[in-house]
A and B are shown apart, each in its own frame.
Chain A
């Protein structure tokens, strides 16, 4: 594709005043209109402030998308609870217990068949445990925030390493607790079309997806925390690159806030009446 690429448009050139080296010096100070100018896509010679501002905006936008998902999840929870279709919000036609116990006790030991299914109700998840997981998440966010403040003041990456590692460990604890919590969601043994499986009522389903979302966020936090630890120990985020910690902290705090919101909703608004 060897097309004539000669820029032969004089007036256009007149319109676009020549940039100069001074321009690059200026652009960090021109604040107001035309802010953030002189974007250099390649990136290696941009000032940290410019990169920081741009990445912070992206983090906020991703958090915005995450907020929409959280809003959708809470809408799902409250809508299912509000409609309580056919009265099945917290119950389902099936059996208590697990299919294994039925196979073992009913079919294997006694050689019989399954009894008629009955309406089985589930209990709300433990509010205390929910708040405990939330507390651990909030503590991890607090640690990373504390670490950011110190790093911002000292610009000393080495002293940040243990703080980031601690936050990561606390996040991992929250992750494990979330898995424990997920295991506690009540399931109901149902049979249909010659197959037997564990099913969730709409209450359990909504809890499942809220906690599943929390789990994924914990995985991301653990990844980010681990990254901060490694990067700090390698000296990548020292000095004027401290802002990378703030980017992570913004997301981390949002995850903590969202877990408080979720805990508040599901532990206060759980049964029908």
Chain B
């Protein structure tokens, strides 16, 4: 799946930016049907308890922009496709053993492994709404906040001045849902900053804005 997606890197450097300033990658906006229209297209808050947990871990107690309402569906479809593929692959020994072609993995093991994986997939699917709601970003004056993870939660603050590249990528499944992913890179390879589940327009706006802000506040290393 990663190979088929299209990615587009945008370097945060003054020189490149000046040459790249043109209307090269203006994503076509379908009319004025963006967030300006009254309908909220972002996910709403979850259960009060979940919201409280998120708030407790949020250093700034800011307003977060959550993913698009289509994002849980995307996650769900993704989960199911991958779960089905891997479960099917794990079932191969079971088929082989029950046909009597193989005699090594014992039957119980051949059943247990795919079953355990399938249970894992079910749990993961059940957690999709929470996972989708846990995601979000927030633009502050000096840095961009990104959070993700329902179980293992992480809140990341990336200063605009430290951004090296902003990368917008759209996978085949994401394109179908009209969503995109923005990946941010700093000079540190350990920074993992992804904004997932936002609309293509929003991604384009973010890319543009983040690059711009990165230019203004560029501090390199």
**B is a partner of A:** no
